[in-house]
Amino acid sequence: MNSLNTFFIRTYGCQMNELDSEIMASQLEQRGLVESENENDADLIIFNTCSIRDLAERKLFGKLGIISRKKKKKIIGIAGCTVMAKKEKILDKFENVNFIIGTNNLTDLNNVLDEIEEKNIRLSKTDTKYEKKLETYFAKRKNNIKASVSITRGCNNFCTYCVVPYTRGREYSRSFETIIDECNYLKDQGIKEIMLLGQNVDSYGTDNHKMNKYFHDLLYEIDKINGIERIRFMTSHPKDITTDLMYAIKDCKKVCNFVHFPLQAGSNRILKKMNRGYTLEEYLEKVNKLREIIPNVSIGTDIIVGFPTETDDEFMQTYKAFEQIDFDLAFIFEYSPRKNTAAYKLYKDDISIEVKDQRMKKLMNFYNCNIKDKLKKFIGTTQEVLVENLNKDKNFLKGRNKRYEKVIFKGNKSLIGTIQNVNIKETKHQTLIGEISFS
């Protein structure tokens, strides 16, 4: 008996969650279900959740409240990080939720659905240990130009504010061979850009020295695959990035010169309280080295403002570092206490919302102005763009240069998936606008 015909997965949060949704979608298609365009038509709805900050969780619970009142007949499942953080409490709180499935049980999805359908019960599967079956699991890719490949799962760093080690478990590096196999498979499917994903890609292989393969080895190997045009990766941890890796980025023609390299804070006292494992001076030394070794490298960051006890002076140390480093991309967050984390247990969330807002605004203002000026410097240059899709307005194509700046230009959709030289003529917001170069 199979009463489910259609499914819809709503994904919240990071690229790791996007990939997990693609893994679930491929199993549902193997089961014979068809993906719906929107959640109202689907027999099965899965919410793949994020719990990195409180706002993400509140949005989900608001949505669940509405949906569980409206959609009485449908099967509703919750997956992802919130499930790991809240477990059975979700089933207690939302009576129309039929199952919850954790980040380490993704390939159990069809067994869970079988049981629910046969026995008419509610189920919870939330193992804390990495599921080895994911080693060879291929996902249903949403995009036919770019695909993510997970190289490590989980995290061992225990930054004191971060819930990831609790929601995704300890770090586990996938085998070198299965990663290369998956990249070859994706190349055969026509994929041009691979994004290697891990909470901390730089520590790939350090949980299993017997393998004797590290992140730079992976880059050199994937770079050899004919047909793959670009290789990206994230996230890099400032305490773990190696000189070998910097040279691999420089040497490998397809590896993009963009490094997401979260500073988080510019005060050494706060960095210590965050358990980041580096000082500002050590961070700056690595940035200098990145800029020395990798031509025209683009550097991205995450920053948290309003970490417990952060003084005005300490915030200004972050601000000055942010200004000095001159980041090419930045995500700025207000500290949000997360249950189970050391910061939640040890420190009071003592910085008011108003002060957090002010600090965030100050950084954002600088960032927005600075990025505008930085982008203007591209006018008159030619950028190599991998064309990803039509832009929203359809008259334009969109893509990115190797550094990760977004570029739009007029062109035929037959160019999607190719690399084009684009002469940059102007900028708008955070986008470069140009024309194809025919010379």
Kindly tell me which residue out of 262, 300, 399, 417 binds ligand 5AD, with binding defined by CB under 6 A.
Answer: 262
Q: Strand ranges (DSSP E) for 139-237?
A: 146-150, 152-153, 172-173, 193-197, 230-234
Binding partner selected for residue 304 from ligand 5AD, ligand SF4, none, CB under the kind-specific 5 to 8 Å limit: ligand 5AD
Binding partner selected for residue 52 from ligand 5AD, ligand SF4, none, CB under the kind-specific 5 to 8 Å limit: ligand 5AD
SS3 of 364, please? Answer: helix
Give the nearer residue to ligand SF4 in terms of CB position, either 154 or 411.
154
Contact 207, 235 (CB under 8 A): no
Q: Which stretch binds ligand 5AD (CB under 6 A): 206-214, 244-252, 291-299, 334-342?
A: 334-342
Residue 302 binds to ligand 5AD (criterion: CB under 6 A): yes
Residue with tokens 């491929």: 26
Kindly tell me which residue out of 77, 102, 165, 417 binds ligand SF4, with binding defined by CB under 6 A.
Answer: 165
Give the nearer residue to ligand 5AD in terms of CB position, either 116 or 155.
155
Q: Which stretch binds ligand 5AD (CB under 6 A): 331-339, 350-358, 396-404, 419-427?
A: 331-339
| 438: nearest Cα among 419, 412, 417, 420 | 420
What mask, x for binding ligand SF4 by CB under 6 A, covers residues 219 to 238? Answer: ------------------x-
Distances (CA, A) of 121 to 88, 98, 126, 186, 234: 14, 8, 16, 38, 39
Contact 176, 213 (CB under 8 A): yes
Kindly tell me which residue out of 79, 134, 162, 287 binds ligand SF4, with binding defined by CB under 6 A.
Answer: 162
Contact 131, 106 (CB under 8 A): yes
Q: Which stretch binds ligand 5AD (CB under 6 A): 202-210, 265-273, 313-321, 333-341?
A: 333-341
Distances (CA, A) of 230 to 155, 220, 244, 247: 26, 12, 19, 17
Phi first, then psi, for residue 59 (nearest 5°) are -60, -45
Kindly tell me which residue out of 138, 158, 344, 404 binds ligand SF4, with binding defined by CB under 6 A.
Answer: 158
Give the nearer residue to ligand 5AD in terms of CB position, either 161 or 258.
161
Report the alpha-carbon angle 224-225-231, nearest 5.
85
Helix-helix angle 109-119:15-30, to 10 degrees: 50
Kindly tell me which residue out of 159, 219, 249, 386 binds ligand SF4, with binding defined by CB under 6 A.
Answer: 159
Q: Which residues bind ligand SF4 (CB under 6 A)?
A: 155, 157-159, 162, 164-165, 199-200, 237
Q: Which residues bind ligand 5AD (CB under 6 A)?
A: 52-53, 161-162, 262, 264, 302, 304, 333, 335-336, 338
